[in-house]
Amino acid sequence: VIGAFFLIKFIFLNDTASEKTTDISELAARKALPLPPLLEDLNPDPNQAEFHLTAQKGKLEILDGVESHTLGYNGNYLGPVLRVREGEKVKVKMKNDLDEATTLHLHGLRVDGEMDGGPHSGIKPGERWEPEFTINQPAATLWYHPHMMEKTAKQVYEGLAGLIYIEDENSDQLAIPKEYGVNDFPIIIQDRQLDASGSMEYDPGMNDVMMGLYGDTYLVNGAIKPYLEVPKGIVRLRLLNGSNGRTYHFELSNRSEFYQIASDGGLLEEPVEMTTLRQSPAERAEVLVDFSKFKTGDTVSLVDVSTDAKIELMEFVVTNKESGVNEIPTQLAKISHYDPNNAVKTRQFVMSGVGATLTINDKTMDMTRIDEEVKWNDTEIWEVTNQRTGIKGGMAHPFHLHGVQFQVIDRDGEKPPENETGWKDTILIQPGETVRIITSFKNKGIFMYHCHILEHEDAGMMGQYEVK
Ligand code: C2O
Ligand code: CU
Ligand code: CU
């Protein structure tokens, strides 16, 4: 059926001005973009939510006929989308059906340390963990993933990751696409290394520890080069770089512009027009793409241009449906900006990597050591420097802070690019660069800060701060 569908489409494609011609055999073998399910909220009260998640073992066929051992939440790879609202009281019942301990880290969520699911919240095989918290932040696309000491890279690689959508009154009334799987799509990009048999076992070498894992196979929501049928008009893509080590530079294959409307922690003040989006591991970006100028059957691809080889990640196939949204909004959200003059303290962090020795302030992670003590409710500036080290002049590190969303004051004294002027929880820092971020610490407990290249995190490029 799919083959016939594409045969028709292919004939049609040939006489339209499509952006690229695709080999039919390649198209026929393609899978539709897998859409993670929206997880059912088991609490009927509209102000409360209860979600059940089970971390479990599974199998994934990346190449036809070759199975990889994978992990997933409530399924064989990745996990469902948890959709919540600002102000909602949420309970998660998380069960660990793996053979090993895991945690459920809520990346980007402003919750107390005990609910954050960091390395202190290990869940043994067969056990449960049931955090409860109130959503206390604006509409955003966040994510969840495991965070066991020295096991994060492997468990995320094997498939443990999922998205959290927060909605609020502002996002309700904005005229942006919001129909899940219709005009609003989750797009999780990951690179994986297939072995000789075609399966994706996690087997990092020394170079992967030093640089972070770079795989040769690109998955979007768990599939190689999938296609996605999109309506005409404006479509919203919620991009998560769920890779362990790789930073992408996304473009559309026809180099057409798109508009970033949200960064890690929520909507920007205004859409930012761009043709290339850089995204380091763990960063999220919501973008609007205008497919109204395309004809039915036209295709355009999402490509990564971070290397000389332009890598096609997935393909959009424009249908004759309408998205219902035909304009890029001019205003998105009001963001109150921190005044650096109100910061009571500035702390310095130096990220450094020499060979496989990866440190922050010359230390590697120690679970029994609190590196920074922060006073509750204080506003602070964190000045993070990526020390230029090594023969090649060093590498970029994405710095992530748990428990908060922050704002970027400057990069080497210069204003950050427009798409970094909203809420962030992960920020890529180039070799030799110093980035100043500012936030106030409104949740108590023990939290991590670390490089989000997962091989670096597992090698100890992480520290702990305690808010009290
Ligand atoms: Cu996304 Cu400490 O992690
Ligand atoms: Cu996190
Ligand atoms: Cu790093």
Each residue's pLDDT tens digit, 192-244:
999 999 999 999 999 998 999 999 999 999 999 999 999 999 999 999 999 99
Average of per-residue pLDDT values in the chain: 93
For residue 393, the CA-to-ligand 3 centroid distance in Å is 14
| In the block, residue with structure tokens 């500036």 | 381
pLDDT at 16 over 70: no
Ion ligand 2: residues, CB within 5 A, are 107, 402
Quote the tokens at residue 385.
């420097």
For 354-396, the pLDDT digits (tens) are 888 899 999 999 999 999 999 999 999 999 999 987 656 689 9
Other Cβ atoms less than 10 A from the Cβ of 317: the count is 23
Q: Which of 383, 338, 337 is nearest to 360 (CA)?
A: 383
pLDDT reported for residue 20: 46
Tokens 């106030």 map to which residue?
440
Beta-carbon contacts of 97 under 8 Å, excluding residues fewer than 6 positions away, are 54, 55, 56, 57, 125, 126
What is the residue with the minimal CA distance to atom 3 of ligand 1? 107
In angstroms, what is the span from residue 114 Cα to ligand 3's centroid? 25
Nearest residue (by CA) to ligand 1, atom 1, is 107
Residue 386: the pLDDT is 96
Taking the CA of 280 as reference, the closest ligand is 3
- Sheet hosting strand 407-411, strand order edge to edge: 357-360, 345-354, 379-386, 434-440, 407-411
Q: Report which secondary-structure segment, H or E, holds 154.
A: helix 152-157
Which architecture, in CATH terms, is 175-322?
Sandwich (2.60)
**Residue boundaries of the structural domains of the chain:** 48-173, 175-322, 340-467
What is the per-residue pLDDT for 30? 83
- Give mean pLDDT, residues 323-332: 98
Task: Judge contact between 95 and 79, C-beta under 8 A.
Answer: no
**Whether the Cβ atoms of residue 202 and residue 257 lie closer than 8 Å to each other:** no
Q: Does CATH place domain 340-467 in 2.60.40.420? A: yes
Return the ligand 1 atom nearest residue 107 CA: 1
User: Closest ligand 1 atom, CA of 118?
Assistant: 2
Q: Do domains 175-322 and 340-467 have the same CATH topology?
A: yes
Residue 1 pLDDT greater than 80, yes or no: no
pTM: 0.93
- Is beta strand 407-411 parallel, antiparallel or unpaired with respect to 379-386? unpaired
- What percentage of the chain has pLDDT greater than the value 90? 88
CA of 69 to the centre of ligand 2 (A): 25
Beta-carbon contacts of 46 under 8 Å, excluding residues fewer than 6 positions away, are none
pLDDT digits (tens, 9 = 90+) for 34-71: 999 999 999 999 999 999 999 999 999 999 899 999 99
| pLDDT value of position 259 | 98
CA dist., res. 192 & res. 162, Å (int): 17
CATH of 48-173 given 2.60.40.420, 3.40.630.30, 3.10.129.10, 3.40.630.10: 2.60.40.420
What three-state secondary structure class fits 14?
Answer: helix
pLDDT tens column, 147-183: 999 999 999 999 999 999 999 999 999 999 999 999 9
For residue 101, pLDDT over 90 is answered with yes
Q: What is the dihedral of CA 289, 295, 297, 302, to 10 degrees?
A: -30
Say which ligand is closest to the CA of 431: 3
CA–CA gap between residue 80 and residue 124 (Å, rounded): 22
CA–centroid distance, residue 41 to ligand 2 (Å)? 23
| Predicted pLDDT of residue 390 | 65
Q: Which atom of ligand 1 is nearest to the CA of 426?
A: 1
**Are 27 and 3 within 8 A, CB to CB?**
no
Q: Output the pLDDT for position 26.
A: 54
Arithmetic mean of pLDDT, 16-32: 55
For the Cβ of 456 lying below 6 angstroms from any atom of ligand 1, the answer is: no
Q: Which atom of ligand 1 is nearest to the CA of 108?
A: 1
Q: What is the pLDDT of residue 354?
A: 83
450 lines ligand 1 (CB under 6 A): yes
- Please tell me the predicted confidence (pLDDT) of residue 392: 61
Ligand that comes closest to the CA of residue 396 = 3
